[in-house]
Amino acid sequence: MRIFLPLLFLLPIVGYSQADTATLQTGYSSSEGADRVPSTELTIPPTAEALQATLYELDDQYHAIHQMHWNVTGPLFISLHELYEEFYTAIAGKMDEVAERKLALDEPADARPAEVAANANLSPAVPGGFVADKETLELLSARHLQISNRLGERIAETGETDVVTQDLLISVRDMIDKQLWMMRSFLK
């Protein structure tokens, strides 16, 4: 009897999976599904490229900030340790928004580490090991400035064809510029 009871619970699962396999495989496809991608005046390739480039840069900067968060040293340690945690958390949220915008346009998002490393093109490079507090500020603010400048170009490009993506990129730039201002405040 002990062996029989658990088998009774499996019968509905086994029966469902065998009986409705064909329905499950085709039940969600729709000939109209492909037409349900936003397409007003939008030109997908430039928009997708702007979003992907932004995603690569944000992902690279996220990891750079996280590295500095762990390895910052010096008198500003506790201030920067906490500040950098706020920074990379905010960037993670924007990364998700950028990726989801690409997906809404029926374009895949790519954040594979090798692709991020090959395509972000931010400098200076992030050193390994402990890094002095002032050096972390100089390094991260230089990279933030590059991201901000590139976002400015993408905002102008997407404004012609996709105001929704433009609005998203403006919000990303706003966050990057605010973080840049906070780092510059330490360096004055």
Q: Which residues, at least 6 apart from 108, have a Cβ–Cβ distance to it below 8 Å?
A: 102
CATH code for the domain of 147: 1.20.1260.10
- Mean pLDDT over 142-161 rounds to 95
Burial class (CB in 10 A: 0-12, 13-18, 19+), 40: exposed
pLDDT tens digit sequence for 65-97: 999 999 999 999 999 999 999 999 999 999 999
pLDDT at 164 exceeding the cut of 90:
yes
Q: What is the DSSP secondary-structure string of 135-164?
A: HHHHHHHHHHHHHHHHHHHHHHHHHTT-HH
CA 13 to chain centre: 38
CB atoms within 10 A of CB 120: 21
Write down the pLDDT at residue 45: 74
Domain membership of residue 150 (yes or no) is: yes
What is the count of structural domains for the chain? 1
Task: Write down the pLDDT at residue 46.
Answer: 84
User: Which residues share a beta bridge with 132?
Assistant: 73
Are 62 and 119 in contact by the 8 Å Cβ rule? The answer is no
Instruction: Decide if 62 contacts 143 (C-beta within 8 A).
Output: no
Residue 98 belongs to a domain: yes
Provide, rounded to the nearest whole percent, the portion of the chain with pLDDT above 90.
73
φ, ψ of residue 73 to 5 degrees: the values are: -135, 160
Alpha-carbon torsion (108, 112, 118, 119), positive or negative: positive
User: Per the domain annotation, does 4 fall within a domain?
Assistant: no
Could you list the residue range(s) of the whole structural domain that residue 74 is in?
A: 41-187
Residue 6 maps to a domain: no
Whether 35 is covered by a domain: the verdict is no
Helix and strand totals (H; E) in the chain: 7, 2
Residues 48 and 162: beta-carbon distance below 8 Å: no
